[in-house]
Structure 1
Amino acid sequence: MGFIAFLILGLIAGAIAKLILPGDQAGGWLATLVLGVIGALLGGWIGSALFGVGLEEIWSIQTWIVAIVGSTIVLLIWGFITRGRSRRTV
């Protein structure tokens, strides 16, 4: 998969993971989308290591599943890390 296609996949997977998770994670939508790209990478790595499913084709359902699961995992971890931080309003 090309780099641009991977970025698009990660951005969409991050948005879907944001819709799946209840509550609000610190950082807003931009951080969520960046974490989605990281999560897609993590999902591809875990998918290929455990199940032999990676991020080969952007139109494969397995690619989307591992990217969304990876993004959800990264957003959950981010939520646990930033849970105690207070939000500043300007």
Structure 2
Amino acid sequence: MNFIIWIVIGGVLGWLASLVMKTDAQQGMFLNVVVGIVGALLGGWLLSPLFGTGTINTDDFSLLSLGVSFLGAIILLAIVNLVFRGRVR
């Protein structure tokens, strides 16, 4: 059951991050899930030590861990935009 929750929360976080970064029109549901999960991994690697919390990838579904995962997804989309478009947006 945790796997399904992980996929759903990752999809929602990826979708919200794509709305913030204005890339929602270019992404589908599958890419939103990928962005949410990979962004959570990136957030866990970069931001978790700063905030002292886990991410959705560590089965921690607290508000702070959702925020760290969301920020990681935004950072991931900014890096992708910078590499492929030459600007963050």
- Per the normalisation by structure 2, the TM-score is 0.71
Q: Any gaps of 5 or more consecutive residues in structure 2?
A: none
Higher relative contact order (CA 8 A, sep 6+): 1
Identity %, equivalent residues: 36
Deviations 1:25-56 (A, max 9, x none): 79522334312210012213333322211124
**Structure with the higher helix share, 1 or 2:** 2
Deviations 1:4-38 (A, max 9, x none): 3222221111001011113x379522334312210
Equivalent in 40, 57, 60 of residue 57 of structure 1: 60
The number of aligned residues is 81
Deviations 1:32-81 (A, max 9, x none): 431221001221333332221112432x1112101110000001111112
Give the greater-gyration-radius structure (CA).
Answer: 1
- Per the normalisation by structure 1, the TM-score is 0.70
* CA-atom RMSD in angstroms: 2.3
Q: Any gaps of 5 or more consecutive residues in structure 1?
A: 85-90
